[in-house]
Amino acid sequence: MTTQRHYSPIDRLLLQADMAMRTLLPFSGQPYRPSPAIVQPEAQMSDEDTRHVAGLMRINHTGEVCAQALYQGQALTAKLPQVRQAMEHAAEEEIDHLAWCEQRIRQLGSHPSVLNPLFYGLSFGIGAAAGLISDKVSLGFVAATEDQVCKHLNDHLEQLPAEDEKSRAILEQMRIDEEHHAETALEAGGFRFPAPVKFGMSLLAKVMTKSTYRI
């Protein structure tokens, strides 16, 4: 007979600190699935295209840092155990995206954004606040966030050079996963955010994308 371990608030804070370090330190997050880019050939691109793709992948990497922080903050304050477990499971799946993007950025001769710690802290606070309000709001925030991510992924897929199949394979799999996370959150009872709230979220997303494209 197995028993489920119950963590104290101090235990959870220590676990969150460990997750934060694994999210922000280079090559700390180990993916559960191999990168979809492995089976794709490396293409010859111009220096300009290489820099542009690296900037796009840096944006996506920072987006995954934010997703990790969001889910971890929500898991810390979620009221229902099943919601907390769902958040923790989603965070594990997002680790794949985090690692894949970082691997691709390094292959392109670039680096993740130096602003990641800042965006991690902001996203963690937002996630924790959403969880404190209610699980319904928390789940709704997940769905609305994933909708924004999918829009960015669609835009980036259109901007990729046709020959860059490695980056394309990563972003296409990420889009599939993010759409699934949004659907799951709504099916679990997530609140559907109104258009004005989603518009505000899109403005914040633009700040992130503009700032992390180069740094």
Which ranges of the chain would DSSP assign to H, the alpha helix? 9-24, 47-77, 81-107, 116-133, 135-159, 165-187, 195-212
Return the amino acid letter for 189.
G
Residue 64 is assigned to a ligand binding site: yes
Instruction: Say if residue 97 carries a ligand binding annotation.
Output: yes
DSSP at 160: S
End-to-end CA separation in angstroms for the chain: 52
Nearest partner of 129 among 177, 57, 73, 45, judged by Cα: 73
Judge whether 178 is annotated as a binding position: yes
Cα gap 16→126, rounded to integer Å? 15
**183 is an annotated ligand-binding site residue:** no
Which residues lie closer than 8 Å to 74 by C-beta, 6 or more apart?
Answer: 83, 87, 127, 128, 130, 131, 138, 141, 142
Provide the annotated binding site.
64, 94, 97, 146, 178, 181
Provide the annotated binding site for Fe cation.
64, 94, 97, 146, 178, 181
